[in-house]
Amino acid sequence: MKIAEASRFYIDGRWVDPSSTDCIDVVNPATERMIGKIAAGRAIDVDHAVAAAYRAFPGFSQTSKEERIALLERILTLLQERAGEFAEALTSEMGVAIGFARSAQVPFATEHVRIAIEVLRSYEFMVVRGSTAIAREPIGVCGLITPWNWPLYQITAKVAPALAAGCTIVLKPSELSPYSGLLFARLIHDAGVPPGVFNLVNGAGDTVGAAMSSHPDVEMVSFTGSTRAGVLVAQAAAPTVKRVTQELGGKSPNILLDDADFERAVPLGVAAGFRNVGQSCSAPTRMIVPLQRLAEVERLAIEAVADMRVGDPLSAQTTLGPVANRAQFERVQSMIAAGMDEGAKLICGGLGRPEHLSEGFFVRPTVFSEVTPTMRIAQEEIFGPVLSIMPYATEAEAVHIANDTIYGLGCHIQSTNPERARRIAKTIRAGQVHLNYPAWDGMAPFGGYKRSGNGREYGVLGFEEYLETKAIIGY
């Protein structure tokens, strides 16, 4: 897929040439072939984008709620109209199966905009308590850094509430999946977003991302990515004491209590763990199951994987496309090897590509059983279609295993007893707990405990991350 604007940045309401001729290759992970190049930004390009956002902030921050709603409604309409174009871009740039792009990646991204509109309609920006008025005001220029695994979804999750709050924006999409971001910038222009309110600079994290994080005129950085990169963002931001929200890594558990419906819970658990080819920070990749039901769980997991189809992401029959890039492919292979070396029981999948595929970053859907908490595959984020089945003897042990991680992003609990599931949920150290595979809720705040991050996204709490608090005493 060719994007006409790939050699430029979107700054101050127009497409501008970069400061250098440096480029970054864009590779289709299904073929391992280069399909284009994007401009690689430098610090000076970030300076220009931040200056534009800084100039635009005083005016945009004073726009009415109705004006911002109308703007977001135009963005929402164009996202709906261009859904097919975005789905094709996602498949091209990061290998997601076209069916999943159409049914999840794009619709959920669109939903973030609708929810921002819904939140804005009812939000009270000033509340009077006694003689004090508490005002919530837009924080300022926001630097938004988004990942390669849910490219459009994470862009709208940040841009929509930032615009709703009255902030101005500099966006750095992942250089590994940049086309959806460029298409979004085109959409922003066509929606009539005022010049300077939204700006996009492509480039590498250690240049563009670092320049955004350390810039004195950026008041907030919202980052989604690895915990390692999140630490670097926080360190770069610290001297300017800006707000930093981070959605980082995860190693989410899926606890199957002994009263769960295993015929339902296991296949859905495998599907949840392998969703987006396992490239989701909140994927429940540790299935914690009763020891006495281990053989049954293994059988059901093998059957669930057998129904999955790995292959051409443009085929409607494909369940799992490739992982998104070479570095991730090599990471997944190394972690599968580690599981085998440490003595986990490999019940399906394994090293290498599926036998019918000779090129592309395709991974065999892999399930290990008899995984113990000290193994690397039980502790480290793999970010691929690799599931660890971990047995427990008691309910207390199941909770201990679930919490035995440096991460705390998500957790799933399966039980036919709602009260029991709710009780267990209260013991879990994670930002989201899902009971019995509920429907996705874009209003539910999303974020993590421990090294999974700081702050929240989605819904009202995600919106409020883009606001400052002012007390007017004697009001």
Enumerate the active-site residues: 247, 281
What element of type H or E holds 357? none
Residue closest to 361 by CA, chosen among 29, 24, 25, 15: 29
Q: Which two tokens stand for residue 461?
A: 């709490």
- Amino acid identity of 184? F
Residue closest to 27 by CA, chosen among 78, 96, 120, 93: 93
E-assigned strand segments in 139-230 = 141-145, 168-172, 198-200, 220-224
Q: Do 187 and 10 form a contact (C-beta atoms < 8 A)?
A: no
User: Nearest-5° angle of CA 461, CA 467, CA 469?
Assistant: 105
Residue closest to 412 by CA, chosen among 252, 216, 202, 230: 252
How far is Cα 19 from Cα 40, in angstroms, rounded to an integer?
A: 9
How far is Cα 426 from Cα 221, in angstroms, rounded to an integer?
A: 31
Residue closest to 464 by CA, chosen among 439, 437, 443: 443
SS3 letters for 343-376? Answer: CCEEEECCCCCCCCCCCCCCCCCEEEECCCCCCH
Beta partners for residue 16, in sequence order: 9
Q: Which two tokens stand for residue 308?
A: 């999955």
Q: What is the DSSP code (8-state) at residue 313?
A: T
What Rg value do the Cα atoms of the chain yield, rounded? 22
- Amino acid identity of 154? Q
